[in-house]
Structure 1
């Protein structure tokens, strides 16, 4: 029987796909008999995230530890890092799994410090896009990719959530010099139940920041209204510091009566508000929202960035470039031929075989044990 592990997940911001990924892994790992804990930032997240924390808190034997973690590298990292290290040291994990750029640095650096104290811990890193979004031609990009290369010395296993992410790592950082695996994000069985269409035509759900493309979504709606005689309605679900700017954009384009803003909520609850889900991201690794929407039986329009084509297929008619004009044209097709368009989406059976949470958790656990074996024997 495989030994039971003390697993700590370390990441910065408890919002979006990384938080979803960690929650899914946590539930599966607890069900497998492991003791699990979470360390993340205390200054981000809102009421929705607090509800999610409360839902998983009872199952976490190592608890939820929240401490300040600033987004960008700076002097504050010294104090933030020291607090995080003390928390990790008290938890004495067998596995320290860092997610995202900041979580990855903390997990590998502090796991290595534990090694100095003759305490063996497996140090794993999942980029989830993270610093890989930077342009390698810029000074900032060169700095971060140099840091990524340096941190490889303190890494036992790299976990990529898409082949795109792995190829980007190779192009910007270099071919991995440590063991690495491709493990797709996974959904729970109940998420493959269809969600009926709601009253609005289109839905945007995600963080309110330009990287995710809400401005492209709004501009596409504006173009669509100019080219159609009928009213077009949309719901935008999410929060972020740029939300006021998107509200102003809606007002400026005369869409205030047609676009409704709503606070963060569970994805399946949001899916019931509209017929088609639009994912207008400028950059992604392997977004959960695409998987969730397809599993719920929703037709989608998604930009061909990151790992999205790996979900839909490289030649899927649902793919567009991150352009308001292209998104608008695809929106029009959805409105004119809704039944035909819906049949172009991948089927639930194929999705479940590739993107089930059981597959994801099993592959991640194999990586944990492979990282431990050389030292544990």
Structure 2
């Protein structure tokens, strides 16, 4: 039986998008699909894919627009799509979707999918840039069989701001391997490795240090909680790190906030955190809050994107307005003062994530979409010899 060839295209990515794609390709049904990922060589994602034994295709793709590199990436992808007879191109992020779909149009790739992981309309963009981006997206959407959104809120944004037909959009929630976050660890050792004092609760955030993550508001809220014997932790790196460290100093938080930089042992770090915070200005459906809940931690996050779809208000966490450090501080103070309530939220969140956001569900729904689109174009029988549609429906068992 010939395998159906799938090419994923992604820009340099870290954090949630990287973990999403790694889980998806790792758990894709390899008896039916032959998976290749096109991404920049030498990146952390590239290295992780190589470790997993996933086929990789080097492309010159960067995060920002770069006509020369983008053109070269389109040429590389077009040549590969022609030569490999790839059946499905699955692009991730707006930049990956731009070059990936242009190549798919030229190569006449049969099935084209785009997963939108976050809002494409970054708040700091000028009006003309948002309008141009929306126009380009509407054009490319005509050549896209399905756009996957990671939350209903993101789906609604694409309908309202880009006039994408609802029938072209499918929401598939992000999923995580919850077992990774349930192991017992030595939290005192973790605190010591991060230079966090042994006494006092830890309030932490894990995010790329970029404007859309709103870490500055987390620092401002920390400055309002100086009377509490709490420790504040920022895990992650990015273009704003130096500015944020300077802001922490100006707020008098030198001995209260730890900037831990980029870390790989996220499950262990979450075990050492007492309350998880995500103060984002814009989001799709962040994996970090799912991971925090899987680790049994109460979550305080902003009411943006798909966050309200992942947090049960008052039961698994608290949702506050974005850009409002006072509201964030009030929510944190409430949990610091009611330890039993915080623990109860953590237990509820752990159960909720296991029921609704397990990685197997995310992968199965993606495989079902592949199957549906191939069937709709009468492509399935040319690749699956003698196998009925019912027999070939994929199911993922992460325990197997």
Q: What TM bracket, shorter-length normalisation?
A: 0.7 to 0.9
Counterpart CA distance in 2 for 1:136 and 1:257 is 35
Moved more, 75-84 or 251-260: 75-84
The 3-state SS of whatever aligns with 1:246 is: helix
Higher mean C-alpha displacement, 306-315 vs 207-216: 306-315
2:332 corresponds to 1:331: yes
- Quote the RMSD (CA, aligned, Å): 2.5
Correspondence list, 1:339-358, <5 A: 339-345=340-346, 346-358=348-360
Q: Distance in 2 between matches of 1:256 and 1:66?
A: 42
How much does 1:273 deviate?
3.3
Please name the residue that 1:366 is paired with: 368
Q: Is the 8 A contact 1:134 1:141 kept in 2?
A: no
Matching residue of 1:103: 96
How do residues 158-307 of structure 1 correspond to structure 2 at under 5 angstroms?
A: 158-176=147-165, 179-191=168-180, 193=182, 199=191, 201-225=202-226, 228=227, 230-266=228-264, 267-307=266-306
Paired residue secondary structure (1:333) = helix
Q: State whether structure 2 residue 105 is matched by structure 1 residue 112.
A: yes
Distance 2:126 2:241 in 1: 30
The offset of 1:135, in angstroms, is 8.2
Unaligned runs of 5+ in 1: none
> Does the C-alpha gap of structure 1 residues 165 and 100 become closer, same or farther in structure 2, counting only changes over 3 Å?
same
- 2:128 counterpart of 1:139: yes
Number of the residue aligned with 2:64: 72
TM-score, reference length from structure 1: 0.88
Q: How many residue pairs get matched?
A: 362
Match of 1:52 among 38, 48, 52: 48
- Please name the residue that 1:92 is paired with: 85
SS of equivalent residue, structure 2 residue 113: strand
1:22 aligns with 2:15: no
For structure 2, list consecutive stretches of 5 or more residues without a partner in the other structure: 197-201, 381-400
Alpha carbons 1:104, 1:125 under 8 Å: kept: yes
TM-score normalised by the chain length of structure 2: 0.83
| 1:129 alignment partner, SS class | coil
